[in-house]
Amino acid sequence: MVEEKIVVGEGTKYPLNGMLTIPEERNGTIPAVILVHGSGPSNMDGKVGNNYIFKEFAEGLLERGIAVLRYDKRTFVYGKELKNDNGLSVREETIEDAILAADLLRNDPRIDSNKIFIIGHSMGGMLAPRIDAEGGNFAGIIIMAGSPRKLEEIMMTQNDLALKSLNRVIRFIAKKQVAALSSKFDNIYNLTDEEAKSTPVLGKHVKAYYLKEMGEHPAIDYLKDLDKPVLIMQGEKDVQSTVEDDFEAYKKQLDQKPNVTFKLYPNLNHLFMPAIYGNILKVQKEYKVAQKVDSQVFKDIADWIHSV
């Protein structure tokens, strides 16, 4: 195994440190993937609690003959500068860097330029079809624990699940807060872009524009028109994106498309690790337990990539 330090977006305003993991011995050019983070700041190893899912993906796919490019997320490195940018959208936060990462792989003579794939986890999975359409031009798309819904819809579902887990007194208080948030979400698409940029929805830094811009580019619109191979993966015990609301929604809208493959994993959580609590209120506690991504996940991804 060779791990090479790289820089995504070198020479731009937001260069990002990254790592290219590539087999030391190769017979000709090889396929490669870029890893795209979920929501929130995250480092190149995909650290969540005491787990490092992107580092594991690099090692797990490398063993199966696939190079992996991972990098720090822009908000992880430049969060202080970006939090005051009222016009911040997923384009600046995620999409631009993923396209730059794909270009970097295309210019590497060791990589088969016709076999570059994207693996998007969680919100990264939601954005993967758009990244592909806006310049990623991947050979195929892998969506892990993603959703065809809008981000605010997912947040409201998670809030509703959390409410059901609270005792009666706390639930009464929290219900008012959730209702206030819901009313903010309901009005997002009635705002102009400029109004949205000055309207806070989550704390003082997350503006309505962030949700509006993302919501106006639904993942399902890209997927419905796509003919290239797509692999959609889901943990059965995921409480952040769920089988009922997300995986089945993908299937309902895409099941008739022969280019789309679906994989559901019993007893795995949002990180594709064994579920412990299966409770939305205990996800942080669950992620503090150091675990390993199920090896079957790596096998299925590698088999699918090699078959494309």
Active site amino acids: 122, 238, 270
Q: What 3-state DSSP class applies to 18?
A: strand
CA dist list (Å): 140 to 43, 78, 112, 143? 24, 30, 13, 10
Q: Provide the token pair at 7.
A: 């820089």
| Residue whose C-alpha is closest to residue 76's, from 102, 46, 53, 49 | 46
φ and ψ at residue 145, rounded to 5 degrees = 55, 40
φ and ψ at residue 15, rounded to 5 degrees = -65, 145
Continuous segment of H or E residues that includes residue 190: none
Q: What 3-state DSSP class applies to 81?
A: helix
Calpha distance 147→151 (Å, rounded): 8
Handedness of CA 186, 122, 305, 249 (dihedral sign): negative
CA dist list (Å): 20 to 152, 183, 236? 34, 44, 31
Contacts of 10 (CB under 8 A, 6+ apart): none
Continuous segment of H or E residues that includes residue 134: none
CA dist list (Å): 154 to 12, 191, 215, 249, 265? 33, 21, 12, 13, 21
Beta bridge partners of residue 33, listed in sequence order = 68, 117
